[in-house]
Structure 1
Amino acid sequence: MPAQDGRLAIVTGATSGIGYAAALALAGAGARVVLAARDADRAERAMVAIRREHPGAALEFRPLDTARLSSVRAFAGAWRADGRPIDVLLLNAGIAWVPQRQETEDGFERQLATNYLGHFALTGMLLPNVRPGPASRIVPVASIAHQRGTLRFDDLQFRAYDARSAYRQSKLAMLMFGLELDRRLRASASAIRAIPVHPGITRTAIIRRGGGAGPVQRLTGQLVFGLLGQSAARGALPLLYAATSTEAAGGTYYGPDGIGEARGWPSVSEIFSHARDETDAQRLWAGSERLTGAPWLS
């Protein structure tokens, strides 16, 4: 990873898992890292741990709950007031397999809100603060779960709820968002790159803690992730590659290079055909604008 001195990175969901691993690596390379997360105590513990490894790390915490548009607006408003340029916007916060349907204060299905809609709105609000140029990166974190995902345009909020299907939809939306964002940036003659990624199968607490997963989901997650998963540090490598490598190409999807893209070193990943559908991507974009009230790059 090239030196990151003088660069500023915002990492959502930076207090654990691949978000923490990415924040740790970016801080170690010299970036100023903003931990954007819900829990101030956990953020403080994360910063203590990072400084234990990198005593001179430049860190700050800012509260952000991507499941709540009021929190997203507050974060973005405070950032715009500061006026500081952003070099990396790493959209990582996520939950998975919430066993019973939960609805946010905005009326959204919780996985869609946390994993996708909050990030869509946040990016639109912060884009004017992203430093122009090809070194600036917007990195949406998707998942190999997109392969089996479907956008239910007639029921995006999954009122006929299925936990895994709702998760797959949210991660498919993140991938399609990243691809569509890069197309729109290019069309507007912006040099900023949008580069979606996925971490493969990684041993993190997203199943145990992220969405109040029930006992069956926790057991399944622990077995699958424990047997097949790689460490959070390895899972974060595609995120770091997209965020910092001069070779990372906008509109390309990166993930592990191993069998089934479950683990390995960063490489170009397969985008299944339904995720390449530009008509559906534009429809998703328009719907996301209506839902979040955050129109931009139209």
Structure 2
Amino acid sequence: MNWTERDIPDQSGRVAVVTGANTGLGYETARALAEHGASVVLAVRDVEKGEQAAARMTGDVTVRQLDLSSLESVRAAAAGLRETHAGIDLLINNAGVMYTPRQTTADGFELQFGTNHLGHFAFTGLVLDLLRPDSRVVTVSSVAHRIRAAIHFDDLQWERSYSRVAAYGQSKLANLMFTYELQRRLAQHGTTIAVAAHPGVSDTELVRNAPAAVRALNPLLAPLVTQKASMGALPTLRAAVDPAVLGGQFYGPDGMGQYRGHPQVVASSPDSYDLAVQQRLWTVSEDLTGVKFPV
């Protein structure tokens, strides 16, 4: 049977932190969790937009400022959560940027790698000890982790020859490798699990930074190959709340090419399972962010 929002169990008493929750997939994820009883924290870069999003949701929803492109902001957000919450049940690393022109974060990292991977890596490490028993860390990847994707250790910040498509693919591959390595570490320390998800091809604001040709064709192609954000959020939601989920699994749409459909367990690229690269990426990420995980 197709898994839908109706299959979300009662989330009363649970705390969920959703990054990038003011729009698109993050909004739909947060909305659904709040409607099913969770206390949801919208961790967003723009607090005003976050408040506007919260006002459209039903349930216990609060807003916290988090700019994943700034390690200072990441540390401040983590410290703020400690002041307001004794524990977290769901950490959903959803926020991201896609196909941006060559830019750097406040800390000098290439924007897509710095925001999509390093920002979430640091944020997760800084709040990990707030996670309660039977909690989950869900990190959102993309089908683009297969497109010209590799971890370019010789030029992680794309200082020599920048490709917005390949840089995005690297960041989404890094999301997966982070999940797999985190799960191995968590498995030795209790019942928290790490899971990954991807939304297929969803019609969200991320396309605004796509190459001009893609933006021009989007109105024609979107109805054929994309799905609504509410559908794109289902793999994340299932990874977060389905009692049958196992640590290290990857959820995505069940349709052709995993572009759209209902959520199921899917396989990631062969490269994503490279243990040596996962461990090297973890070490490099700790060095770049200065965040050491308590596992």
User: Per-residue deviation at 1:104?
Assistant: 1.3
Q: Does 1:150 align with 2:150?
A: yes
User: What one-letter code is carried by the residue in structure 2 that aligns with 1:125?
Assistant: L
* Equivalent pair of 1:95/1:207 in contact (CA under 8 Å): no
Whole-angstrom distance in 2 between the partners of 1:219 and 1:286 = 40
Q: Which residue of 1 aligns with 2:48?
A: 41
Closer, same or farther: CA 116–226 of 1 in aligned 2, 3 Å = farther
Within 5 A, what are the aligned runs for 1:1-298? 1-50=8-57, 54=58, 57-98=59-100, 100-133=101-134, 136-148=135-147, 149-159=149-159, 160-186=161-187, 188-208=188-208, 212-213=209-210, 215-297=212-294
User: Per-residue deviation at 1:82?
Assistant: 3.3
Query: Match of 2:197, SS?
Result: coil
Whole-angstrom distance in 2 between the partners of 1:238 and 1:24 = 15
Q: How many residues align?
A: 286
- Stretches of structure 1 that go unaligned for 5 or more consecutive residues are none
User: Per-residue deviation at 1:225?
Assistant: 3.8
TM-score of the superposition, structure 2-length normalised?
A: 0.94
Closer, same or farther: CA 27–83 of 1 in aligned 2, 3 Å = closer
* Equivalent pair of 1:19/1:236 in contact (CA under 8 Å): yes
Query: What are the Cα deviations for residues 182-203 of structure 1, in whole angstroms up to 9, with x where unaligned?
Result: 01101x2321010011000000
User: What one-letter code is carried by the residue in structure 2 that aligns with 1:261?
Assistant: Q
* Equivalent pair of 1:35/1:60 in contact (CA under 8 Å): yes
Whole-angstrom distance in 1 between the partners of 2:151 and 2:217 = 25
Query: Match of 1:87, SS?
Result: strand
Q: Which residue of 1 aligns with 2:5?
A: none
Whole-angstrom distance in 2 between the partners of 1:169 and 1:297 = 26
Whole-angstrom distance in 2 between the partners of 1:232 and 1:124 = 28
* Equivalent pair of 2:90/2:137 in contact (CA under 8 Å): yes
Query: What are the Cα deviations for residues 129-176 of structure 1, in whole angstroms up to 9, with x where unaligned?
Result: 00022xx11000001111121110101111121000000000000011
Q: Percent identity?
A: 46
Whole-angstrom distance in 2 between the partners of 1:226 and 1:73 = 40
- Per mean C-alpha deviation after superposition, the further-off stretch among 78-87 and 242-251 is 78-87
Query: Match of 1:195, SS?
Result: strand
* Equivalent pair of 2:128/2:294 in contact (CA under 8 Å): no
User: What one-letter code is carried by the residue in structure 2 that aligns with 1:67?
Assistant: S
Query: What are the Cα deviations for residues 52-91 of structure 1, in whole angstroms up to 9, with x where unaligned?
Result: xx3xx10100000111100000001122233420000000
- Stretches of structure 2 that go unaligned for 5 or more consecutive residues are 1-7
* Equivalent pair of 2:105/2:115 in contact (CA under 8 Å): no
